[in-house]
Structure 1
Amino acid sequence: MTAMLLLWVFMGLFAGYAAARLYKMFKGTEWKKMALRTAVVFPAVVFGIFFVLNALIWGQKSSGAVPFGTMFALVFLWFGISVPLVFVGSYIGFRKPAMEDPVKTNKIPRQIPEQAWYMNPPFSILIGGILPFGAVFVELFFILTSIWLNQFYYIFGFLFLVFAILLVTCAEISVVLCYFQLCSEDYLWWWRSYLTSGSSALYLFLYATFYFFTKLEITQFVSGVLYFGYMLIVSYAFFVLTGTIGFYACLWFTRLIYSSVKID
């Protein structure tokens, strides 16, 4: 856990750089606001949920509560190291020349024709999340069992294979649905691609709810809140991970296909 926290803190430099490069490609100009959101949004949500859960443990006078000194150290790592590194990375990335589009686009947006019912956002997004969740469904049972039922988890090598399958599945389903969307003359693909693969986090949380009522024997209110709170953090992190994979896969796909377009 300590290694993960330190890795996350020092990766702020690369996070700021990547975010600035992407932001500038989409013609963004206010890089300081972008850097602040990059450094704050995700950890603020996670820290907020974790702080509330830890306060509940404090209220129960449990020895499992994180001490105040440790919480202060986490905040110091966040604002003292991670946030400055994100701004440094953003400054370096924003000074780089913007990535050029493979083709010129019209300044006046074209009207999007009426879409078929199966290509509308709610349905297509929810359908897109089924395959990534199915890729980790079986392994998810053993992971939850090792976390909540104190059973040992041995097959870490297979876990890396499952992650590779998840990565490929998220990329494939996002690219396929992005292709169908472009064929339907709907060019607003960026947030759709993020939500398509990211919706698998919804199925993850639903499965965690099913696991709670079928496998666990938790009767105390605070214990139930802790379970759903921690699984909400896991689902949120899973949403960010899978959504990012889907977006970058579609970004690479669209740049590749439009770079092959020949205009006389």
Structure 2
Amino acid sequence: MIDWNDAFDNSGYVPEAEAIRADWVQQAARLRDELLPQGRAQIDLTYGADPREVMDIFAPVGTPKGTLVFVHGGYWHMMDKSYWSHLAAGCLAHGWQVAIPSYPLAPQARISEITQSITAAVRNVADQTKGPLVLAGHSAGGHLVARMACKGVLPDDITQRLARVFPISGVHHLTPLLQTTMNDTLQLTETEALRESPVELDPAPGVPVTFWVGADERPEFLRQNRMAAERWAGKGADVRSVYEAGQDHFTVIGSLAKPDGPLTQEVIR
């Protein structure tokens, strides 16, 4: 029998996880402190009625070439946008604008409601920008951006602007979460798990998707990445699958902070 608590226990297998998270907070604050005096950071912009439906937008020098929306993780019940500002640095260096939303968290919000919040955030960004949009998300955020790439979630005019969606270490098959103690917080039902699992849904036509995961992550995250890529490729999606060598669940997103990082290059390509 599979121990699903263990399968999803990323922190338990990365001893330095807490130190990495603390470093994220410091790096993120430094980037905000750098960009705010330059007028290149807008903080706590409202996109919905919930107090957590706010986002930060970071602008490059000059007219943006496009906009990246980055959706954070935390198993739908932890953290907020303030941890991740530094991940905008790589794309900013290439002339891309970056939006990072917070969103309501479980148990106050169901996962289906969180999906609706991210839909609202993406629509808000699309309404205020021109040019291509790229969506990226990590862990639970990977699930949420994959949901944005599902058929019928976003309006057609926004879907047509999606240059690429890349879920990073995403949770695309939610049914196993029913067997975890985490579900005491998430309160998933079997019906909701099926309706919110990208692997059970159809991809939006014409949207390129890169399913990205660290090669050193927990076997469950490798399985989920493979399952999502195979299911969607089988349905005709333009799919790329990447298993980044030497990266675990916490280090895999770090290259977004670097202009020459592989994730940054995936955005701008």
Q: TM-score range by the shorter chain?
A: under 0.3
Give the number of the structure whose residues are more often strand, by fraction. Answer: 2
Scaled by the length of structure 1, the TM-score of the pair is 0.26
Structure showing greater Rg? 1
Give the number of the structure whose residues are more often helix, by fraction. Answer: 1
Scaled by the length of structure 2, the TM-score of the pair is 0.25
